[in-house]
Amino acid sequence: MPLVIPPKQNASFVSAMEDVLEVYARPYDPEFPVVCMDESSIQLIGEAQDPIPAAPGHPKLVDDEYIRNGVASIFLEVEALGGKRAVKITQSRTRVDWAHFIKEMLEVRYLKAQKVVLVMDNLNTHNIASLYTAFSPQVARSLAERLEIHHTPKHGSWLNIAEIELSVLKRQCLAGRIADIETMKKEVKTWNEDRNNQQTKVDWQFKTKDARIKMKRFYLKV
């Protein structure tokens, strides 16, 4: 994803940035885990002709032609300090898809947490309204009360640790051609289990004090 630079002296940008950086600076607390989420679409690509298997001294040969088999959607969450992540593959990226992913997060993966501190970008589906779109008011409110939501600023998706993890997933697991959604689910499940077994954590080093020096041009002069 190309880096989009915000305009200079942008109070909206720096206020949202410092809010996220404050969240990342919190100590680990399993009662209030900090979880980042992101989502993306992936093209399903099939082979027009069967590849020629690798042989001694010869790599696997893949034809240049391919078949587009539609698009799959990826929802990913990562708890940087806990070394845990979860990935869900769906056929669409609607408000309802997002809401069901959040419900599973709260009721399955973080059932014992008092509240999940959720960091994500400001996509128009990433809000409490999506819960009310998918569920009854009673269910939506009960889920919303267990969320503390923080949005990365516009042009600041690089602040989302889940975007970094999603990039790792694409590079390590989805770089080749995958023809159908069931195969993708199996590949991603294996990758996810391996990462969790390794308890791969993310050590976020960029602090608010660093931002005020290195990104000084974005702060208003008052």
pLDDT in tens, 17-70: 999 999 999 999 999 999 999 999 999 975 555 655 666 766 665 555 556 779
CB atoms inside a 10 Å sphere around CB 44 = 17
Q: Decide if 1 is inside a domain.
A: no
Question: Stretch 89-114: mean pLDDT, rounded?
Answer: 98
| CATH code (residue 38) | 3.30.420.10
Q: Decide if 96 is inside a domain.
A: yes
Q: Decide if 36 is inside a domain.
A: yes
d(CA 169, CA 163): 10
pLDDT of res. 177: 82
Question: Stretch 197-206: mean pLDDT, rounded?
Answer: 92
- DSSP-assigned letter for residue 135: S
Number of domains into which the chain is organized: 1
Residue 92, SS3 per DSSP: coil
- The whole domain housing 29 covers 11-218
Give residue 218's identity as a one-letter amino acid code.
Answer: F
Q: What is the pTM of this model?
A: 0.86
Strand-by-strand arrangement of the 34-47 sheet: 84-90, 66-79, 34-47, 116-120, 147-151
Q: Decide if 105 is inside a domain.
A: yes
Q: Decide if 6 is inside a domain.
A: no
Q: Decide if 164 is inside a domain.
A: yes
pLDDT at residue 3 greater than cutoff 60 = no
- pLDDT per residue as tens digits for the range 147-198: 999 999 998 999 999 999 999 999 999 988 888 999 999 999 999 999 999 9
Q: Decide if 4 is inside a domain.
A: no
Give residue 63's identity as a one-letter amino acid code.
Answer: D
Helix (H) or strand (E) holding 158: none
Asked if 156 contacts 123 with a C-beta cutoff of 8 angstroms, the reply is no
d(CA 155, CA 120): 13
Question: Percentage of residues in the chain with pLDDT exceeding 70?
Answer: 87
Q: Decide if 39 is inside a domain.
A: yes
Among 37, 32, 29, residue whose Cα is nearest residue 113: 32
